[in-house]
Structure 1
């Protein structure tokens, strides 16, 4: 991990160290997910389970159902916005789009990653999820994602305002 990444997101090692516990909480709520609300930007089945609301990151009633994960977000990412589990079901494509135009960057922590053609294109490069690892990208810029496999892709996503390096 680069020193610059640790300066803007010092919480990354803590989340990567605890990814198994974060994933275990997802397994307890996975049957309670709802469709991602922006139906016009994807084909297939994209689901979510919000812990902190969009865009400002206020607690939802769901934080009680994933207390460990919610505690980590609330106590170690003071500048967090929206956060929750994102499930990109098999054979789902998210079209190129731009996210919320606030001050936030977005992290993805890989929790359940299928083998095969599954990735995110942002700023001209392709990122691939890895279980237990975080990548950060600028959701405000045009990006797209896809899961062209027969299995689900699960990630914890958190919007945050980066710390000044």
Structure 2
């Protein structure tokens, strides 16, 4: 999110001290996105219909199993890393530790210790074509993720509601001009290159399964998206996030043993 690659590790962002070639790539994102949009095999609407993706029904049928694993992990919530600690580039859009993320897969990198704690979820998401990232996204009461845009249309973002406070007037996401609401056991799918923000003004926690999925493309957009991903996967941003996650995996293991 932020000005980084959407909803996963914050990349290519407007952070002081980033190399000039990252700034160049950021400036070129509008041109690249225009080509990707013209090459897209799905709509370029802000909010997408889950029915056009066959895999959504398969995961939806097993949502209670996924929720059970998420709740078991949430039992040690203080040891689940705030996203801003995994990816410092996200500190611009959330200024406290209210948004926590338990990664199973991030930019194709499997977090094996975390996967061992949610094996059924990992098995299910592995069947999603073009899956790039998958994690439990936990939003504390009183949270606000400020308006922002993702960088690239190479992906779309899918949220499966697991624990959703039943107060839609106080818990919502705005994508473009449309306000959407999560429902337990249902998908919310959107293109995060449109400006979006999130509010949880309830007194309860919201938990979703967040999947970042490659957009179905034809050429030449598919070439641009593939080149971008090869670059990103080798970038220092992903390496930094992986290193940060390793430290949090150690902390979570200690919490499970009652050492924290």
Normalising by structure 1, report the TM-score. Answer: 0.88
- Residue 147 (str. 1) matches residue 200 (str. 2): yes
Are the equivalent residues in 2 in contact too, given 1:43–1:92 (CA < 8 A)? no
Higher helix share: 2
Are the equivalent residues in 1 in contact too, given 2:153–2:215 (CA < 8 A)? no
Aligned to 1:82: 133
Are the equivalent residues in 1 in contact too, given 2:73–2:117 (CA < 8 A)? yes
2:157 alignment partner, one of 100, 103, 106? 106
Matched length: 157
| Rg larger in structure | 2
- Structure 1: 5+ residue stretches without partners: none
- Structure 2: 5+ residue stretches without partners: 1-48, 85-89, 218-260
Question: How far apart in 1 are the matches of 2:55 and 2:202?
Answer: 31
Higher strand share: 1
Aligned to 1:34: 81
Aligned to 1:134: 187
Question: How far apart in 2 are the matches of 1:96 and 1:39?
Answer: 13
Cα-to-partner distance string for 1:135-156 (whole Å, 9 max, x where unaligned)? 1001222110010000001100
Comparing 38-47 and 91-100, the one that deviates more:
38-47
Are the equivalent residues in 2 in contact too, given 1:115–1:149 (CA < 8 A)? no
Q: Which runs of 4+ in 1 moved over 4 A?
A: none
Comparing 39-48 and 137-146, the one that deviates more:
39-48
Are the equivalent residues in 2 in contact too, given 1:50–1:60 (CA < 8 A)? yes
CA pair 5-152 structure 1, distance change in 2 beyond 3 A: closer
Question: How far apart in 1 are the matches of 2:211 and 2:151?
Answer: 13
SS state at 1:86 partner? strand
RMSD (CA atoms) = 1.6
Normalising by structure 2, report the TM-score. Answer: 0.57
Aligned to 2:214: 161
SS state at 1:42 partner? coil
CA pair 5-150 structure 1, distance change in 2 beyond 3 A: closer
